[in-house]
Amino acid sequence: MKDNPTITVTLKAAATLDGKIATATGNSKWITGPAARQKGHELRQENDAVLVGINTVLADDPELTVRGIENGSSPIRIILDSRARIPVQSRVFQNDGVPVVIVVGNQAASREWPELTDLTILTAPTKTPQIKWVLAEIGKLGIKSLLVEGGSLIHASFFKSKSVGRLALFLAPKVIGGQEALSWCGNMSVDLIEDAQNLEITSVSAIGQDWFISATIRQQ
């Protein structure tokens, strides 16, 4: 499948100085402070859609809406859920007029979906939806800018698909440590340093108690 140049993809993550997004027990609230979290809402406001994986929904049950911005407009909510496991009581299903798109794999079990005014179910031609296919399909919905908020496996999948244009990384002055604590990017299958994903840092700024790093991706 050809690249889809019409969608600008920004990958957003919030982590500790050692790159962790949660403790080994899964606790993740809150890594960054209020100012950084508000900046995250601004990033949502700037994009047509926001995307997370099912593990993020199961762990955090996010609303994925824009809050704290006067006349703010929430982006379309997109959930990658290969096996159609998302609970019907998930907060993304609140009937608030914000469109919801669920992307499932072709082996997902048949199920009942909430009766929302604007719910779209996309079924991929593969067991696990491929990122390039997802971008092509959501592009048909008129989406031109996408904020990817994770989690770890989703971040890695987008990097490996070479679809990311920008990284928005929030770093908190904390250290969790340990091998079991999740890092913000999952396995990239990188064996040699020379094969690591290269980025160009465009800005570093203090935001409250945290740091905000903006970087563009150098495609290899």
- Region 53-82: mean pLDDT is 93
What was the pLDDT predicted at 174? 96
Rounded CA Rg of the chain: 17
- 143 vs 161: CA distance, rounded Å: 18
Residue 137 pLDDT > 70, yes or no? Answer: yes
Using an 8 Å Cβ cutoff, are 61 and 94 in contact? no
Residue 79 pLDDT > 60, yes or no? Answer: yes
Residue 5 pLDDT > 70, yes or no? Answer: no
- 171 vs 112: CA distance, rounded Å: 40
Instruction: Please name which of 38, 69, 91 lies closest in space to residue 30, comparing C-alpha atoms.
Output: 38
Angle separating helix axes 131-139 and 152-160, nearest 10 degrees:
90
* Out of 42-56, 58-72, 131-145, least confident range: 58-72
Spell out the domains of the chain, with CATH numbers in brackets.
8-218 (3.40.430.10)
Q: How far apart are the first and last CA of the chain?
A: 18
Residue 145 pLDDT > 50, yes or no? Answer: yes
Q: H helices within 65-151, ranges in order? A: 131-139
The confidence band for 117, taking pLDDT boundaries of 50, 70 and 90, is confident
What was the pLDDT predicted at 136? 97
* Out of 135-139, 142-146, 154-158, 215-219, least confident range: 215-219
**Three-class secondary structure of residue 46 per DSSP:** coil
Task: Write out pLDDT tens, residues 25-53.
Answer: 988 888 999 999 999 999 999 999 999 99
- Region 6-13: mean pLDDT is 95
The confidence band for 220, taking pLDDT boundaries of 50, 70 and 90, is low
The confidence band for 1, taking pLDDT boundaries of 50, 70 and 90, is very low
What was the pLDDT predicted at 4? 45
- Region 129-135: mean pLDDT is 97
Question: Percent of the chain, pLDDT > 90?
Answer: 84
Task: Write out pLDDT tens, residues 165-197.
Answer: 999 999 999 999 999 999 999 999 999 999 999
**Three-class secondary structure of residue 41 per DSSP:** helix
